[in-house]
């Protein structure tokens, strides 16, 4: 009799443990895979008739007489589930790059995460960036929205919340009526004078900027011109997807057109197709933008002068989420942009071949 009671007790305890484990696993799966974190919706309807106020633009101060260095991380592409075992390696690599380049500002040209499961990975990446105590400025890439438009566990407003609540992050969501949320501007100033304007444009999930985004860009550039004694400020455009001019520049470079110069190595191992951008190149160039920096195609990396501006395919950071048309290709590192007096230098920083590789392929490439 006593044995039977004890047996029942054991069965009840085992059943309770199994039920608790099942509930915990179910809750984890729900919150990691199924639940959608929508974040805070903040309505800001912009009009081109709005009064521009330069004081609303985020600024980073350049120390007088010293170079100002930007470290751009491209397509870090972490994921909540399968990439967790590799987080430490990617963190080590970014830390290595930060310690090597010693940036005053870190920019990220999109695809910080790559899958629908983006909440843990984005929080983790923000945690790493906060740890450096250096200002940073991200733009959205197509994968930051998830595998399909708006399919990510952390929706775009949630991602905006995470960035905006991070102490060292300069990201501020832009108007809600121009087609994409992640548009903002950062000025680099020296003794109060604007020495560089960084236009952080959200090429989002779609393949082109909207007319409203371009009008919003023009409104900022013209407003800054008025605030800068009637002269356009020197600009750098950061955007995830490449403009069509990236493919034109490479075509001319390969054809030996003399006006197209390379700054460093040229690696093109994947389609240069990125997006149609409604002649944004000319619009931006005619308003002071001299550099265009993009990410998106991990197998491509170059800096080419083209038609009075400079186009940079930023070097992909980390091995996660890599895809290459040619399996022998592996490009891994970051891009350093140095503002030095009137000159702006761009240099791609490859990670050493014996460091930070998760797979057995690392920085093996050909032109
Ligand atoms: Fe992308």
User: How far apart, in whole angstroms, are the C-alpha atoms of residue 110 and residue 182?
Assistant: 10
Find the 352 Cα to ligand 1 centroid distance in Å. 24
Find the 27 Cα to ligand 1 centroid distance in Å. 31
User: How far apart, in whole angstroms, are the C-alpha atoms of residue 272 and residue 229?
Assistant: 38
Find the 114 Cα to ligand 1 centroid distance in Å. 8
- Mean pLDDT along residues 221-238: 98
Find the 218 Cα to ligand 1 centroid distance in Å. 25
Find the 47 Cα to ligand 1 centroid distance in Å. 29
**Confidence class of residue 361 from pLDDT cuts 50, 70 and 90?**
low
Find the 110 Cα to ligand 1 centroid distance in Å. 7
Residues 6 or more apart whose Cβ sits within 8 Å of residue 186: 57, 58, 59, 60, 105, 137, 170, 197, 198, 200
Tokens at 159, concatenated: 């991602």
pLDDT at 146: 84
CA distances from 116 to 69, 89, 142, 180 (A): 33, 22, 12, 19
Give the β-pairing of 309-313 and 58-61.
unpaired
Question: Which residue in 228, 238, 188 sits closest to 68, CA to CA?
Answer: 188
pLDDT at 355: 78
**Cut 0.75: pTM above it:** yes
pLDDT at 295: 94
Around ion ligand 1, residues with a beta carbon closer than 5 Å are 111, 141-142, 296
| pLDDT tens-digit series, residues 296-347 | 988 899 999 999 999 999 999 998 877 665 666 678 999 999 999 999 999 9
Question: Which residue in 194, 199, 224, 228 sits closest to 214, CA to CA?
Answer: 199
pLDDT at 250: 94
Find the 298 Cα to ligand 1 centroid distance in Å. 8
CA 21 to chain CA mean position, Å: 38
Find the 252 Cα to ligand 1 centroid distance in Å. 24
Find the 7 Cα to ligand 1 centroid distance in Å. 58
**Confidence class of residue 352 from pLDDT cuts 50, 70 and 90?**
confident
Find the 8 Cα to ligand 1 centroid distance in Å. 57
Q: Which residue intervals of the chain are DSSP H helices?
A: 2-29, 87-101, 119-132, 156-164, 211-227, 244-254, 280-285
Find the 60 Cα to ligand 1 centroid distance in Å. 27
| pLDDT tens-digit series, residues 2-41 | 777 888 888 888 888 888 888 887 777 777 777 789 999 9
Give the β-pairing of 300-306 and 309-313.
antiparallel
CB atoms within 10 A of CB 261: 13
Burial 119-129 (b: 16+ CB within 10 A, else e): bbbbebbbebb
Q: What percent of the chain has pLDDT over 90?
A: 69
Phi, psi of 26 (to 5 degrees): -65, -40
3-state DSSP percent of the chain in helix, strand and coil, to 5: 30, 20, 45
pLDDT exceeds cutoff 90 at 162: yes
pLDDT at 198: 98
321: left (phi over 0), alpha (psi -120 to 50) or beta: left
**Confidence class of residue 186 from pLDDT cuts 50, 70 and 90?**
very high
Find the 143 Cα to ligand 1 centroid distance in Å. 6
pLDDT exceeds cutoff 60 at 366: no
Query: For all residues of the chain together, what is the average pLDDT?
Result: 91
Query: DSSP class of residue 322?
Result: -
Radius of gyration of the chain (CA): 23
Find the 274 Cα to ligand 1 centroid distance in Å. 9
- Mean pLDDT along residues 38-53: 96
pLDDT at 82: 85
Find the 268 Cα to ligand 1 centroid distance in Å. 16
Which burial class, exposed, middle or buried, applies to 208 when counting CB atoms under 10 A from its CB (0-12, 13-18, 19+)? middle
Find the 140 Cα to ligand 1 centroid distance in Å. 9
Strand order across the 184-190 sheet: 58-61, 184-190, 193-201, 235-239, 289-294, 309-313, 300-306, 267-268
Find the 290 Cα to ligand 1 centroid distance in Å. 23
Q: Supply the DSSP string of 17-60, one letter for each residue.
A: HHHHHHHHHHHHHIIIII--B----------TTSPP-GGGSEEE
- Mean pLDDT along residues 210-225: 97
Find the 152 Cα to ligand 1 centroid distance in Å. 14
- Mean pLDDT along residues 153-164: 96
- Mean pLDDT along residues 77-99: 93
Find the 3 Cα to ligand 1 centroid distance in Å. 64
Lowest mean pLDDT among 144-158, 163-177, 275-289, 347-361: 347-361
| pLDDT tens-digit series, residues 199-209 | 999 988 877 89
Q: Which residue intervals of 177-262 are DSSP H helices?
A: 211-227, 244-254
CA distances from 72 to 60, 136, 311 (A): 16, 9, 14
pLDDT at 367: 43
Find the 127 Cα to ligand 1 centroid distance in Å. 22
């Amino acid at each position: 009799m006593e044995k039977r009671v004890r047996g029942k007790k054991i069965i009840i305890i085992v059943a309770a443990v199994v039920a608790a484990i099942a509930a915990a696993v179910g809750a984890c799966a729900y919150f990691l895979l199924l639940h959608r974190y929508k974040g805070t919706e903040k309505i800001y309807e912009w009009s081109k008739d709005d009064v521009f106020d330069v004081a609303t633009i985020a600024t980073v101060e350049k120390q007088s007489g010293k170079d100002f260095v930007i470290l751009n991380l491209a397509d870090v592409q972490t994921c909540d589930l399968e990439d967790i075992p590799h987080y430490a390696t990617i963190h080590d690599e970014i830390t290595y790059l930060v310690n090597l380049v010693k940036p005053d500002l870190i920019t990220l040209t999109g695809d910080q995460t790559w899958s629908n499961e983006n909440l843990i990975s984005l929080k983790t990446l923000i945690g790493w960036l906060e740890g450096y105590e250096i200002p940073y400025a991200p733009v959205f890439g197509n994968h930051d929205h998830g595998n399909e438009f708006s399919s990510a566990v952390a929706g775009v407003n949630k991602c905006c919340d995470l960035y905006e609540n991070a102490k060292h992050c300069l990201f501020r969501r832009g108007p809600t009526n121009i087609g994409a949320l992640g548009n903002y501007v950062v000025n680099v100033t020296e003794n109060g004078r604007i020495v560089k304007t960084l236009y952080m444009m959200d090429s989002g999930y779609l393949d082109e900027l909207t007319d409203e985004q371009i009008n919003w860009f023009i409104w900022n550039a013209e407003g800054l011109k008025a605030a800068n004694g009637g002269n356009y400020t020197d600009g750098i455009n950061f955007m995830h997807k490449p403009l069509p001019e990236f493919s034109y520049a490479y075509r001319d470079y390969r054809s030996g057109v003399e006006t197209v110069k390379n700054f460093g190595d040229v690696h093109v191992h994947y389609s240069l197709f990125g997006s149609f951008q409604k002649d944004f190149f000319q619009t931006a160039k005619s308003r002071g933008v001299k550099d265009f920096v993009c990410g998106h195609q991990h197998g491509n990396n170059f800096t080419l002068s083209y038609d009075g501006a400079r186009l940079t395919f930023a070097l992909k950071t980390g091995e996660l989420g890599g895809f290459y048309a040619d399996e022998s290709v592996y490009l891994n590192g970051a891009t350093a942009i140095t503002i030095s007096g009137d000159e702006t230098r761009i240099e791609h920083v490859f990670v050493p071949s014996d460091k930070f590789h998760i797979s057995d392929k690392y920085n093996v490439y050909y032109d």
